[in-house]
Structure 1
Amino acid sequence: MHRLEDLVQIGEAAKIRGVSIDTLRRWERSGKLKAEKTEGGHRRYRVADLLKVDNQNLRHTVIYGRVSTPDKKEDLARQIGVLELYCQQHGWGSVYTLKDIGSGLNYRKRGLLKLIDLLQRNEVERLLITDKDRLLRFGSELIFALCENNGAEITILNKPAEQEPEQELVEDVLAVITVMSARLYGKRSRRNLKAMQAMHECAEKLIDSQD
């Protein structure tokens, strides 16, 4: 536990304030945050300054990125980079970065749970994502409702085109089939493999019906 008078390095300062190191450096250049230098010329930040003990309300711009599997880490880095640049262009200072690697059907991802926690504590000024389904495949409206109830803005960079209800339903069904197939494949019993084959056939029919 840090005391208010403690001086910390930039990496620890970024964790305390919930922003990136680049954001801290930008704050320092703009005069928003003051750094103290050690005898060896190293920067140190006072905890009291980081926490803004002048009673300002601590609310963040939260950026959230997600990919489904570890082999898509480059895409995750691209998402975060795009979101950070957007924040910089709009002058949004206190940026809290959250990211997950996991299925959009998983409601217990660490980053998503942290977002919900921040919303419940009324510490989110705005939520910024690249696409709606980066939050959840189903149920993102629940997160948006939490934002609305806590006065947090929502910005989605890539807003999808209007979909016909049938097309949206097909996409949702295909997502469920994909997840169920993966679970059945892990058990590999004859009955499960037959069920998986039946689901694949169903998926193919759904895709064909959209052509």
Structure 2
Amino acid sequence: MSSFLTIKQAAEILGVSTKTVRRWDQNGKISSIRTPGGHRRFKSNELLNNTTKASATIGYARINPNQSEEQLNQQVFKLQTYCQERGWNCEIINDCGSGVDYSSKGLIRLIKLICHHKLERLVLSHKDRLLTLGADLVFTLCEIFGVEVVIINSTDEVALEDDLTNDLQDIIQLFNTRVYGSRNSHNTHLVKQLQQITKSLSS
């Protein structure tokens, strides 16, 4: 007997937002029943076997907060062109955040798609576009769930160095505020030294 899921649970399985689930239900792409209180409920087995799913190929594009929309568009164009040349139906996930931020919406959605068997192929312009630290963990998930990873390696090296410097600054900030705190004079001195090193890298 099939179990019934709330709209939030259905969205997690499908790897989309609850707004998208409502739209798909209204359009007849998926079916639901209504509780006496008028809430939607979805059969778990129907969702798991549903043919409506994410694109088989996802291109993931990310910029740091200090980068421009034009830089994001250039990255997206490279991904789209690469996929079109190979006849892949590609959807692009955009993110704007630090390379050490694991809570960005696009990254979370990507991981959900991988873990729910909704993805055949992941395309990146460069490995570090995914995460500066921790990308290998996501690649391991791709291997476990049978997702092919394609890295174009077309990222500008200068831009990549800038990203690494920005990510290092984020790590230092986390180190300062979350791990050791700033009250200890020895730790404060250590943080200042790290900040000076970061400035010298960016100069």
What TM-score do you get using the length of structure 1 for normalisation?
0.56
Partner amino acid, structure 1, of 2:65: T
Instruction: Map residues 161-176 of structure 1 onto 2, 5 A cutoff.
Output: 175-176=167-168
Looking at structure 2, the residues matched to 177 and 149 of structure 1 have their Cα atoms a distance apart, in angstroms, of: 33
Partner amino acid, structure 1, of 2:119: V
Looking at structure 2, the residues matched to 114 and 77 of structure 1 have their Cα atoms a distance apart, in angstroms, of: 20
Looking at structure 2, the residues matched to 174 and 3 of structure 1 have their Cα atoms a distance apart, in angstroms, of: 44
Question: 2:55–2:91: 8 Å Cα contact kept in structure 1?
Answer: no
Looking at structure 1, the residues matched to 51 and 95 of structure 2 have their Cα atoms a distance apart, in angstroms, of: 32
Displacement, 1:128?
0.4
Residue in structure 2 matching 1:124, options 106, 119, 124: 119
Displacement, 1:81?
0.7
Residue 101, structure 1, aligned to residue 96, structure 2: yes
1:64 aligned residue: 60
Residue in structure 2 matching 1:74, options 70, 75, 91: 70
2:28 aligned residue: 4
Tell me how large the CA RMSD over aligned residues is.
4.0
Instruction: Map residues 42-53 of structure 1 onto 2, 5 A cutoff.
Output: none
Question: 1:124–1:152: 8 Å Cα contact kept in structure 2?
Answer: yes
Looking at structure 1, the residues matched to 27 and 139 of structure 2 have their Cα atoms a distance apart, in angstroms, of: 36
Question: 1:83–1:129: 8 Å Cα contact kept in structure 2?
Answer: yes
Partner amino acid, structure 2, of 1:90: R
Residue 113, structure 1, aligned to residue 105, structure 2: no
1:138 aligned residue: 133
Question: 1:60–1:126: 8 Å Cα contact kept in structure 2?
Answer: yes
> Cα distance 1:59–1:101, how it changes in 2: closer, same or farther (>3 A)?
closer
Larger Rg: 1
Partner amino acid, structure 1, of 2:97: G
1:49 aligned residue: none
Where 2:68 maps in the other structure, the secondary structure is helix
Where 2:108 maps in the other structure, the secondary structure is helix
Residue in structure 1 matching 2:172, options 166, 174, 180: 180
Displacement, 1:88?
0.5
> Cα distance 1:183–1:57, how it changes in 2: closer, same or farther (>3 A)?
closer
Count of aligned pairs: 148
> Cα distance 1:109–1:4, how it changes in 2: closer, same or farther (>3 A)?
same
Looking at structure 2, the residues matched to 194 and 181 of structure 1 have their Cα atoms a distance apart, in angstroms, of: 16
Where 1:142 maps in the other structure, the secondary structure is helix
Runs (4+) off by over 6 Å: 171-174
Unmatched segments (≥5 aa) in structure 2 = 1-24, 30-48, 156-162
Identity %: 29
Residue in structure 2 matching 1:155, options 119, 126, 150: 150
Displacement, 1:4?
3.5
